[in-house]
Amino acid sequence: MSDDVRSFSIDVPDGVIDDLRSRLRATRWPEKETVSDWSQGTPLSYVREFCAYWADTYDWRTREASLNRFDQFVTRLGHDPDGAPGADGVDVHFVHQRSPHDDAMPLILSHGWPGSIVEFHKVIEPLTNPTAFGGDASDAFHVVAPSLPGYGFSGKPTGTGWGVEKIGEAFTQLMARLGYDRYVAQGGDWGAAITHSIGALDPEHCSAIHMTLAMGARPKDLDDPS
């Protein structure tokens, strides 16, 4: 298996988009709910409006161009580079947007479920080039934003085991492959758990983590959560 980092650009064929729109327009709708509120679930009218938006209004090509303004790559992660028997791996897609400020701190951003790197499209440019947004060069980051295995344009695992810890391990492998000896990590939702894993697995190189969702087990003897 190759450890090469390969350039990537999003280019979804027209046929894929046309097929999705056809499927949405051909939806067989159930009968309307018997109430006028959300007490029986999502109202049929809301779902039909939502579906019509994706079929007739949403502009994928604009989103595609918006994401393609960032430098994107694909590399194989999560495997034994020596090709040991039973070693597996997944092609992981990621944004790697380097800052114009050479001393910027490398930062890996991990998205959650059911999210994608789209979560970060508004912050990548301010993070990489804060001086263009009224900030200081000392606040700059080299941004790495991978798509989780099985999400977006990353490959799909062919077996079990790709939990939080293994993804965290793969992302530390990615930062090493990009040549970053010292970096920080951030994530929310499941990305928070992955970020926590990165900090625990790679303390020698990951100097700080930031999470927007704290996770923890509920104590068994906690009778009153208040």
Enumerate domains of the chain plus CATH numbers.
9-64 (no CATH), 70-211 (3.40.50.1820)
Residue for token digits 């090709």? 83
pLDDT in tens, 86-141: 457 999 999 999 999 999 999 999 999 989 999 999 999 999 999 999 999 999 99
- Residue 44, Ramachandran bin (φ over 0: left; ψ between -120 and 50: alpha; else beta): alpha
Residue 38 has pLDDT above 70, yes or no: yes
How high is the pLDDT of residue 226?
56
Q: Please state the pTM of the whole predicted model.
A: 0.88
Give the whole-angstrom CA distance, residue 38 versus residue 42.
6
Cis preceding linkage at 114, omega within 30: yes
Residue 175 has pLDDT above 50, yes or no: yes
Give burial (CB, 10 Å; 0-12/13-18/19+) of 28. exposed
Averaged pLDDT of the chain = 92
What's phi and psi for 20, nearest 5 deg? -65, -45
